[in-house]
């Protein structure tokens, strides 16, 4: 998980466990790889961990730590994505707006608002008055016959234009206010379309404006400018990679942590926009194509390898600065909590960690966890154990409370 969701995951951890005061102490020698951990007498394990997230690629806290040492954004990126080269990328990206769950697209009126029939390649300006009434909303919806209906709200909903094929709202590059279920608003640059078989809301926006809406949701925009510029290039490159490997036929990216968090115009911050401008169109390439520039909140001091050569496992000297609260961490978890999550084991006797990735303290990140119980054993991956219990990463060990 990355910076934007740290608070949500922390709330989950606090709800499930009792946190311990202070940072984790130095690792004792008895917490080695492949160790068995018996249930403590009081039934509570202390889970000791390092980092926050999957650990692939750039550590965001590490980027800030490096920037604080005077390392520039180009060198930060070269460290976390070794073997990549800088290149240029422009164009537009299509993003699924997940918060709009209705099979319709509703926006507020504004000056310059137009609606376009994509199939007809024809656009019309939306009037400020229709038959003497002032529209309060504009809507794109598909009727039972499969035709797209453009309607306005003045009292009730009234049809204004109808045609076959998909449609989009645009306002000459000015932000459009999207109405979400429940009445909330969210503003987006570019174009808003109702697209695909599920009638998804899709924001088509320039790559540069997209990155403006990503940075503040992924990293504090007020961090050191070298760190924020590193985030700008990583986010732009990640999007460029997804443009070549789209999530669906009608959009390329989502707006959640499953891709990277995107908040549109409302998320923008002047410092983040300045980082976008300073790194205009810069992306990282590997073998002539955009790299898969994964990043996470904190590496814990050692990054984790992925399938690409530019995402190696390597010691991270920048992650452990004093301002990183998740470089090391501890939480308390009860035996009953584990038994509830995996009832097939019965009463838990011990936890075994037979496989780790071999990098860093305790033998590195847990690859496999075996829960040994009275009724039987259950084997899960380190990631499954992590996500089921709401831990910050799969780099963890145990000790008695």
> Phi-psi region for residue 211, left (φ > 0), alpha (ψ -120 to 50) or beta?
alpha
For 328-367, give one letter per residue: b (16+ CB within 10 A) or e: bbbbbbbbebbbebbeebeebbebbbebbbebbbbbbbbb
Instruction: Report yes or no: 265 and 188 within 8 Å, Cβ to Cβ.
Output: yes
Question: Is residue 311 in a domain?
Answer: no
pLDDT, position 25: 39
Output DSSP code: residue 27. Answer: P
Instruction: Report yes or no: 377 and 370 within 8 Å, Cβ to Cβ.
Output: yes
Question: Is residue 315 in a domain?
Answer: no
Are residues 135 and 218 both part of a single domain?
Answer: no
Q: Which domain holds residue 359?
A: 3-52+326-400
DSSP conformation letters of 316-327: -TTTT-TT-TTS
Q: What is the pLDDT of residues 90-105, one digit of tens each?
A: 999 999 999 999 999 9
Nearest Cα residue to 202 out of 237, 168, 171: 168
Q: How far is CA 392 from CA 181, 313, 369, in A?
A: 31, 19, 16
Are residues 86 and 233 both part of a single domain?
Answer: yes
Are residues 83 and 211 both part of a single domain?
Answer: yes
The CA-based angle 283-257-18, given to 5 degrees, is: 130
Sign of CA dihedral 298, 303, 304, 306: positive
Q: Which of 197, 231, 260 is the last residue of a domain?
A: 197
Q: Indicate the number of domains in the chain.
A: 3
pLDDT tens-digit profile, the chain (401 residues): 454 444 333 333 333 333 333 334 344 434 455 678 999 988 899 999 999 999 999 999 999 999 999 999 999 999 999 999 999 999 999 999 999 999 999 999 999 999 999 988 999 999 999 998 999 999 999 999 999 999 999 999 999 999 999 999 999 989 999 999 988 999 999 999 999 999 999 999 999 999 999 999 999 999 999 999 999 999 999 999 999 999 999 999 999 999 999 999 999 999 999 999 999 999 999 999 999 999 999 999 999 999 999 999 999 999 999 999 999 999 999 999 999 999 999 999 999 999 999 999 999 999 999 999 999 999 999 999 999 999 999 999 998 55
DSSP conformation letters of 135-154: -SEEEEEE-TTS-EEEEEEE
Question: Is residue 308 in a domain?
Answer: no
Are residues 213 and 85 both part of a single domain?
Answer: yes
pLDDT, position 347: 96
Are residues 261 and 392 both part of a single domain?
Answer: no
Are residues 330 and 371 both part of a single domain?
Answer: yes
Are residues 162 and 189 both part of a single domain?
Answer: yes
């Amino acid at each position: 998980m990355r910076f934007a969701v740290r608070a949500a995951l922390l709330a989950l951890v606090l709800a499930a466990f009792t946190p311990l005061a202070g940072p984790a102490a130095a690792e004792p020698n008895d917490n080695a790889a492949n160790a068995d951990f018996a249930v403590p007498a009081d039934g509570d394990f202390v889970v000791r961990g390092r980092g926050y997230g999957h650990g692939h690629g750039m550590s965001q806290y590490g980027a800030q730590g490096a920037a604080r040492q005077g390392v520039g954004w180009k060198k930060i990126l070269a460290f976390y994505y070794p073997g990549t080269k800088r290149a240029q990328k422009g164009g537009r990206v299509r993003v699924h707006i997940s918060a709009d769950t209705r099979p319709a697209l509703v926006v507020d009126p504004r000056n310059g608002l137009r609606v376009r029939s994509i199939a007809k390649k024809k656009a019309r300006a939306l009037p400020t008055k229709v038959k003497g009434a002032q529209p309060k909303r504009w809507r794109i919806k598909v009727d039972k016959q499969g035709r797209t209906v453009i309607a306005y709200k003045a009292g009730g909903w009234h049809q204004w234009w109808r045609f076959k094929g998909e449609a989009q709202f645009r306002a000459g590059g000015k932000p459009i206010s999207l109405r979400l279920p429940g009445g909330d608003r969210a503003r987006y640059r570019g174009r808003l379309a109702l697209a695909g078989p599920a009638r998804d809301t899709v924001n088509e926006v320039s790559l540069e404006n997209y990155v403006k809406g990503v940075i503040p949701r992924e990293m504090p925009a007020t961090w050191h400018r070298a760190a924020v510029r590193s985030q700008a290039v990583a986010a732009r490159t990640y999007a460029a990679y997804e443009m070549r490997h789209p999530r669906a036929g009608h959009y390329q990216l989502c707006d959640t942590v499953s891709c990277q968090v995107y908040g549109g115009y409302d998320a923008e911050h002047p410092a983040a926009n300045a980082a976008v401008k300073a790194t205009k169109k810069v992306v990282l390439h590997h073998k002539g194509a955009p790299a898969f520039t994964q990043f996470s909140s904190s590496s814990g001091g050692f990054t984790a390898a992925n399938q690409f050569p530019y995402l190696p496992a390597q010691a991270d000297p920048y992650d452990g600065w004093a301002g990183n609260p998740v470089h090391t961490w501890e939480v308390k978890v009860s035996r009953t909590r584990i038994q509830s999550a995996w009832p097939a084991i019965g009463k838990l006797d011990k936890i075994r960690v037979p496989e780790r990735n071999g990098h860093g303290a305790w033998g590195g990140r847990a690859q496999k966890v075996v829960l040994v119980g009275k009724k039987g054993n259950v084997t899960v991956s380190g990631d499954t154990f992590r996500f089921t219990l709401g831990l910050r990463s799969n780099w963890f060990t145990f000790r008695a409370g």
